[in-house]
Amino acid sequence: MKYFISVFLLLFLTIGLSGQTDPDSLNQAAPVNPVNVSTKPQGVPLTLDSSIYIYNGIGPYSLEKRAERIAEKLTGLKSGELDISQLEVVPGDLADDIVCGDVLIMSLNAADANALGLSRKGAAVYYTDLMIAFAESEDIAPMNVQSLLINAGIALVIVILFAFGLRYFNKLFRLFYHKIHAQKGKIFKGFSIKKYELLTEEKQVLFVVYAVKAVRIVLLVLIIYLLLPVLFSLFPWTQSIADTLFGYVLDPVKSIGAKAVAFIPNLLTIIVIWIVTKYLLKLLEFFKEEVARGRLELPGFYPEWAKPTFNIVKILIIALAFIGVWPLLPMSDSDIFKGVSTFIGLLVALGGAGAISNVIAGLVITYMRSFKIGDRVKIGDVMGDVKEKSLLNTRIKTIKNEIITIPNSQMLNSHTINYTTANDEQGLILHTTITLGYDVPWRTAHKVLIEAALATEFVKKLPKPYVLQTSLDDFYVSYQLNARTREIHKMALIYSEMHKNIQDKCNEAGIEILSPHYGAQRDGNHSTIPQEHLPEDYQAPWFRIKNT
């Protein structure tokens, strides 16, 4: 507080000392002589503020008469009757004329130039600059000693009141700080999002205290900023400073206010566009839900198409609304606004090429109806259940509980097998291949494989499993066992059980499952059938050689 008192007392003393001049001298101050004030002849002022002097008569006009006529023309410049932008110098042989349009303001001869210590052309420029400055200046009313003392007293009272008010201003905010700390655990109980505590009680109190301190500083700066122009406006020689300070605040406010008023018609148009867009999307969302739930049937339009189609139409409607709103926004036609929007568009175009290709691929896959959420599929080398479909990628959960994310663009370039779709008809056909030697009768092989399939859990009894002989190779015959099932999510378990049953049934039937290139000398070799499936009196035959 002492600091602010010292500042304003210093300001007051400065203003007071600068005002200790004779008020009458305000109208008698001589202009600056370009050469030397002491050598300048006695002149006559042309303006009340004595900013322009002349020193000679001309032709039939005496010094006083000439000054009177020029002063009349300067009054017209000051009042705006004459356009100051048309003020110019017209050189002549004997004199240079300062004219404003068709009106002669002043003629300058060699005597006028000599009185200033300048050339005739320099004197014309000198007087022209003075006239422009006079026309653009603001009048400063003279102030006598009594008015000066009254205004100085008002300034002193304002400073004292400010210092007194600043003391209670600080006390008020200290009271606020105390009240805020007192509300800890009452109003300020912390802030949590679900189970995460974003702000503790202490941090919340500290945040509010800092916010109030910021408000205190802003208010104090604003009060001081508004107080200074009030003090400066009390004295004529600082009036321009007061106007400038007020202008720094009032000009932006006026500009913002004028732009806000001019923006009202555009704002109403934007509100109408927003309302129409909002309720149009609500109407489309209603139809989307009806189609997705099957209550509204459209020929050739599947329910799973409802959501992606709605998203596409929604994007188009929002884009059209944005196009309509864009020209109505403030500064939308400015070069900066256009440059920023172009830069953002360029970044999206360069960095989003891959994302856009995935989005397009996602839409294509959706309308191809290759699969839906929950289907058991095989995409390339990945087999599992579809857990999530989006415009950018698809997530597959494998039988090993692995989550694999596949970009849609990659899926579009690979084949997809949907096991669930086949299951919707007569069940999915599981198949496995076994190779047996030519010594095994094919009818026996078919019978054993079918029995193995029927003994497998989750395999359908009807339609009955069947066997295909897929090839007759050099060493073996390939038998393909085909069996139907509805339990597609247990494929791995069914295959495992089926392979176990094939081994057991072959062993029971006395069929050896040999590898493709396995060879054996039958005489003297022990059978490869497990011991528990051989007769109890089984003995390996001797190796016999026959002479011919």
Per-residue pLDDT tens listing for the chain (548 residues): 444 444 444 444 444 434 333 333 333 333 444 544 344 456 788 876 677 888 888 878 888 888 888 888 888 887 778 888 888 898 888 888 898 888 888 888 888 888 888 888 888 889 888 888 888 776 555 556 777 788 888 888 888 998 888 888 888 998 988 888 888 878 887 777 777 777 788 888 888 889 999 999 989 888 888 888 888 777 777 777 776 777 777 778 788 888 888 889 999 999 999 999 999 999 999 988 888 888 888 887 878 788 888 888 898 899 899 889 988 888 777 777 777 777 777 776 666 666 677 777 777 777 777 788 888 888 888 889 999 887 778 899 988 889 998 888 887 778 888 888 766 667 889 999 999 988 899 999 999 999 999 999 999 998 899 999 999 988 889 999 999 998 888 889 999 999 999 999 999 998 988 755 655 555 446 777 777 888 888 877 766 666 66
* Predicted TM-score (pTM) of this structure: 0.45
> Domain limits of the chain?
1-25+144-234, 31-136, 240-351, 372-421, 426-518
Contact 11, 231 (CB under 8 A): yes
| 502-508-513-519 Cα dihedral, nearest 10 degrees | 180
- For domain 426-518, give its CATH number from 3.40.350.10, 3.30.460.10, 3.40.640.10, 3.30.70.100: 3.30.70.100
Output the six-digit token pair for 390: 């989006």
Segment holding 480, helix H or strand E: strand 477-485
Can 372-421 and 426-518 be said to share one CATH topology? no
Torsions phi, psi for 398 (to 5 deg):
-75, 175
Residue 39, pLDDT score: 42
Residue type, 157: V
Residue 307, pLDDT score: 82
Residue 277, pLDDT score: 94
Instruction: State the DSSP string of 347-372.
Output: HHHHHSHHHHHHHHHHHHHHHHT---
Residue 451, pLDDT score: 95
Residue 271, pLDDT score: 94
Query: Is 214 exposed, middle or buried, given 0-12, 13-18 or 19+ CB atoms closer than 10 A?
Result: exposed
Residue type, 173: F
Residue 469, pLDDT score: 95
Separation of alpha carbons 173 and 215, rounded Å? 10
* Nearest residue to 228 via CA among 218, 212, 241, 216: 241
Spatial neighbors of 43 by CB under 8 A, at least 6 apart, are 30, 53, 54, 55, 115
Residue 515, pLDDT score: 58
Q: Which CATH architecture has domain 372-421?
A: Roll (2.30)
